[in-house]
Structure 1
Amino acid sequence: MKWEHALKDYQDYLKIERGLSKNSIDNYSLDIKKLMNYLETNNLTQSPISITQETIQQFIYDTAKVVNARSQSRIISGLRSFFNYLIFEDYTTTNPLDFIESPKIGRKLPDTLSEEEIDQLIKAIDLSKAEGERNRAMLETLYGCGLRVSELINLKVSDLFFDEGFIKVTGKGDKQRFVPIVNVTQKFINIYKDEVRNHITIQPGFEDTLFLNRRGKQLTRAMVFTIIKQLAVKIGLKKSISPHTFRHSFATHLLQNNADLRSIQLMLGHESITTTEIYVHLDKSHLTKVVEKFHPRK
């Protein structure tokens, strides 16, 4: 079995059987391609079936010299998943990563913004330009609904159910969920939609895409990143932020205001509650207040 064929089969499996997004599939593939490049560079002819644990171990050892522990752990996890797929398809019976441990890494807590910092960023938007109304609506939606950047740029006009107070969001693996949307966010989306978007010449195929660039096409993830980075510079914000920071802030602020984790999990579209639980670690003072308020021995 050749590496190229095994990789292609694995990519098809991730797409069809597991329903992963293109970004997730690309990330999984990158780990395997690194191993393939390593074998080629070192003139090693081992196939996906014949590769030994010793070769994998040496690859990880050499990789550890140039990447941090978190990246090393991700590579090990990606390769383990690939070889588990080969076992699943009966190409092999053993996984060469079974006895290879991932490095111990601390749990990285996400950066968050205060309510005041979010207000400052949004107030810094230049509303004298047409794209200003769009940018304000986007940031209000990122923060007000806790969306991923991919969910934001893929949001459709037909996904807006304002009368019911919800938007329909398509998340990872094309899984859909309904997220509540508050009146203030609805207001800014309507201003953009009715006063700016209506005057854009929309390119074929993007008629239903909510947030458009000046050429009438869907915004890119990179463009949303750039907009936020420029606003951070404009207000002199020292934190390193991204679109995901608004999502983290959404969850953290809900928790601080006594929302329950299960509700936050549903709104964020997390498959596992353990992913949502990371927000519990962000604000220890909140936990102290909960105990003081609800514990019978207070």
Structure 2
Amino acid sequence: MTMTKSMPALKNSRTFKRVGLILAALLVMALLVLLARWLRELAPVQGFIAAYPGQSRLPSSAPVGLPAWLGWQHFLNAFFILLIIRTGWLVRTTARPKAYWTRNNKGPLRTKNPPKKISLDLWLHLSLDSLWVLNGIVFFIMLLATGQWMRIVPTSLDVFPNAASALLQYASLSWPLENGWVNYNSLQVLSYFLTVFVAAPLALVTGLRMSPAWPKNTPALNKAYPIEMARAVHVPVMVYFVVFVVIHVALVFSTGALNNLNHMYGSRNDDGWVGFGFFAASVVVMALAWFVARPMFLGPIASLTGKVSR
């Protein structure tokens, strides 16, 4: 009886803590805005922003605009990242998976040791990882072949003071003057560079170390790259992607949604509704994928390459 009565109290305590954290976060954000606005009133800071408006100059050979292939890549990356984060969280937090998968030890993937039984969530996570890596290879090839890399790779040291200027302008809720169709601001450049060339490779190499595909009978290799190290990096990288996505989406919708969505999904530089239409369709696709990512629907697909069991 005592335990039964304590459960609502525990839930209320957790709810109270969550509400408290949200209110504290809002208070901190409000204070940061006030601080940024105060700083922008100072003459030295105004001079700094005038000298570094928030955007570095691109090389003369840099392409202008965002091609259609980049829009498709944006959708596919968003699709895979969303489901990878979801399945990764389920793998980490689910104590008793609803279904398991064991690979067929036949054909070209035959191994000496018997395949290991893994949860269906992990099977989906690894499958999505593989598709994400393949998509990433295509992305890197196209990025280098079309010169689009110049838009997200810093080519001048003034990217750092310009990024600081852009951050201050964002924090004061007075957005940097920019045209993403031509050139990203320096804070965007650094964040995109970090995401594409640092976070994504880290997610790959740490995830590979934690996967069943990693060779187990290699003591020297396992000692040089212990699984504990991979785990210590993999989770923070996942958190980074979550934070990046939240901030990215918030800024897309708060700094000219229609124009930004046209850049990202419509390959056009105007305020029409084409990009929004493609974006809305992509959200529907991702929502459907989120819904069907459960054993009832995944089982028949997973059984094509292995045995699904409870």
The normalised TM-score by structure 2 is: 0.25
Larger RCO (CA within 8 A; separation ≥ 6): 2
The normalised TM-score by structure 1 is: 0.26
